[in-house]
Chain A
Amino acid sequence: LRKNVDDFTGPRERSDLGFVTFDITADILNRKNVQTKQSYLNKMVFFLTCIHLQSIFDWNVKQLFVYLSVEYSTKKNALNQVVLWDKVILRGDNPRLFLKDMKSKYFFFDDGNGLKGNKNVTFTLSWNVVPNAGILPLVTGSGHVSVPFPDTYETTKSY
């Protein structure tokens, strides 16, 4: 689902605005081998797994900052990445995420009109490990979903 509207969050030019809804099922604890599956229409179902050997929440992990980012390429820019949604998981919180029908937290504006007919828009889940003290690694979950965006704009408001 995509519209072309004024990017009212920033530059005042017409840019493509993408709307996505998604489910996130993430078991950031397990090493189970899992695939990604795309449901129908705009819904994407993620099954993601942690690639570390042991439980990611050890004594030195204060929290995880988990975020869903989308990556795609357009004529104007060779690489675009937009963070659509994020969440903080503190040590002690349930590291298994079962979120359904989520809407993106942040507006998915392109810099220009590159979302129309874009064949390859890839969604990945990543997280930043925040220790009690020490190194701050950024980890990308294994498993990603690629979605083609439609060739036409939606003119009706249905978000």
Chain B
Amino acid sequence: GRAMDIFGDLRRMNKRQLYYQVLNFAMIVSSALMIWKGLIVVTGSESPIVVVLSGSMEPAFHRGDLLFLTNFHDNPIRAGEIVVFKVEGRDIPIVHRVIKIHEKENGDIKFLTKGDNNEVDDRGLYKDGQNWLEKKDVVGRARGFLPYVGMVTIIMNDYPKFKYALLAVMGAYVLLKRES
């Protein structure tokens, strides 16, 4: 049946065709990486696209929404802006709003954040003894957003088997696809 056809295909494919398919696949991966690196350079942010992981900014953002960030250093941080930051020592980016800033003449700034949907500010989330965030903690400022699209990432995180299955299907498709 179908399975035997696929094995037949694989055996009949000669070495040149296999190398060609692998190179094709490598090109797709390289192009994707180049686009991602390009985005990092253009936006100035180490992570220009992030997925919202919690409900602390509802009803504006929900779990699974996608945010587009920029991180231009000459763009000052002001109260009311939505920033994505990382707490020292932790990998998970947090998306909250700036509610307080104190900036010195030379541009040094310390600020406080809070999730729209939270009762209290984020001091409980910061490191022990840390009362303020600084420019270096910021991953980027939220400039645009798309709803729901990031759900795929969350599903892949919560169900790793789904991630492997998806990769396997993608790999098989690229390797076996024939150009007519």
Q: Which residues of A contact B (CB under 8 A)?
A: 9-11, 62-63, 65, 67, 69, 71, 76-83, 86, 88, 90, 106, 111, 126, 128, 130-136, 138
Contact = CB atoms under 8 A, between A and B. Distances in A.
Contact of B147 (A9, A63, A132, A135): A132
B51 to A, nearest CB: 15
B142 interface: yes
Interface of B: 59-61, 78-82, 97, 99-105, 110, 112, 116, 121, 123, 131, 142-147
Nearest to A70: B79
B116 A133 contact: no
A83 B105 CA distance: 21
Contacts of A63: 59-60
A79 B99 CA distance: 14
Given A77-B102, A77-B103, A83-B100, A138 B60 contact: no
A62 B80 CA distance: 18
A136 B68 CA distance: 10
A111 B60 CA distance: 30
B102 A136 contact: no
Given A9-B121, A11-B131, A63-B60, A86 B144 contact: no
B80 A136 contact: no
A88 B143 contact: no
A136 B82 contact: yes
Contacts of A106: 99, 121
Contacts of A134: 144-145
